[in-house]
Chains A and B, each alone.
Chain A
């Protein structure tokens, strides 16, 4: 039984409990996979069906029974409560942060790969790598100080600026890994054709790294769209509220009107689900390729 020599582990004999032998592992994992799917889906199913119930209906019927008399009244109530404004705020913040963030990260990633050997760029790169370890929560107090000193407190720009900064490290890492895979010969032939670095960036690197750009965009957009701490600390007035903050406020405002709360959660989740549906393939493959090594 020289089995394990193949796997390269030094310990050839492993204690096998009879129980472990009984559980056919794949079967066990399979059951777990489906059970977990059930657990994942319960709250999602519940929030959707509850959003279509009337308040009276919610209190008398079983929580998990579909609405006997579906209504859109909860959605109307949420829309009447300025949800459109909060939604627009979130769009402005997300788009306003993600476009510059991905753009400048892409430029930096390109510079880091093309300028290998340059000491300044190497330093920049290691600073970004270090930045991966800085949690936003830990630096929120100085960020708040900077924002008040810039007189940007209670504006959407106050959320945008730190969001850009904190999207940079991971974006540069993922994008530079992709640009590194572009064959050197292609850069060389662009150079021979007399293209500038700026031209090569747009005409060669940009199209070739598009999957990574989509991954990075969706991943960061999700984080910014769902961001809670920055709006909580850096804004104050209802006009500047973004969706997550608005949800928490609705929860206080609607009180025991659970169906209305459910409607607010469902309604604000739809755009993200749509975005996910569009970019799913790239996001999943990009993430598993990036992490699972």
Chain B
């Protein structure tokens, strides 16, 4: 019986794979493929093409060689926008990661409140960035907001009127929105660590701190890579939040790449240079994702889970 079964399966597999049958499923992939090519792949190639043209967004598109690239790269706004983007990216990663891991470890260990906390933690993810920004804008009002409410003078600052503070506010709001989500990811990862590992280390006399650094952290290594990839690549595309909360200001102090691209393209009608910024955005995302993948030392799997 057992000797018969495997060959029977093996004979059938190639027929399903190469025979007429697979031909009958191919068409099912066509609608999704067409939609994705039309509004994903073609625009991706299009943005590269448009970066070598001059276009005001309304009239005709003129090929203009490297003109747009020269204009984009000469603009002092670009290095500034890159700097702002990476500043927000790095600091928000630095703030979110340890807090998320801590909360995730805690959530994984407590059965009692886990469900309750998970439900409430998810709420920020339900809200649109527009709604969140509007709420914080009102809440950070120096006269009627947080500071007045708690009666703490330190909170009564002109949060969105000072360049340094405005960046800080953005990082805080990003953390507010995403820490719960990353905590839940870590929580899931920590729960998959076999308890026998902790039991064995307990017999050997390892304390909690030791367990955390010797078991928990190494075991959730890939999750850290996944979560960091989401944070880092995601932060390249912060647009709604900055657009509504600070509008890039005060001055240009919070004008990150995505906003810089929007303003160049749709406000100043310089679609060519704006496309160059978009290409830079795509390249940064790909490079960063690859770097993090290398760091993880695992093939494309972590990348697949990562997004």
Contact = CB atoms under 8 A, between A and B. Distances in A.
Interface of A: 1-4, 6-9, 14, 16, 20-21, 23-26, 28-30, 32-33, 36-37, 39-41, 43-44, 46-47, 50, 58-59, 62-64, 104-105, 107-108, 110-112, 114-118, 120-121, 124, 127-129, 131-146, 161-162, 164-166, 168-170, 172-173, 184, 188, 191, 196-197, 201, 222, 225-229, 232-233, 243-245, 247-248, 251, 258, 261-262, 265, 268-269, 272-273, 276, 280, 283-284, 287-293
Nearest to A262: B138
Contacts of A111: 25-29
Contacts of B275: 141-142
B197 A244 contact: no
B30 to A, nearest CB: 8
Nearest 6 A/B pairs, CB to CB: A292-B188, A142-B46, A63-B149, A29-B106, A165-B39, A288-B188
A127 B130 contact: no
B31 A104 contact: yes
A8 B217 CA distance: 12
B65 interface: no
Interface string B283-307: 0011001000000000010001101
Given A104-B32, A265-B134, A291-B185, A7 B126 contact: no
Given A161-B39, A228-B130, A30 B110 contact: yes
- State the main secondary structure of chain A at its contact with B: helix
Contacts, number: 353
B121 A288 contact: no
B229 to A, nearest CB: 10
Given A135-B237, A146-B42, A293-B223, A165 B35 contact: yes
- State the main secondary structure of chain B at its contact with A: helix
B278 A40 contact: no
B39 A164 contact: yes
Contacts of B50: 141-142, 145
A41 B266 contact: no
A292 B300 CA distance: 16
B126 A276 contact: yes
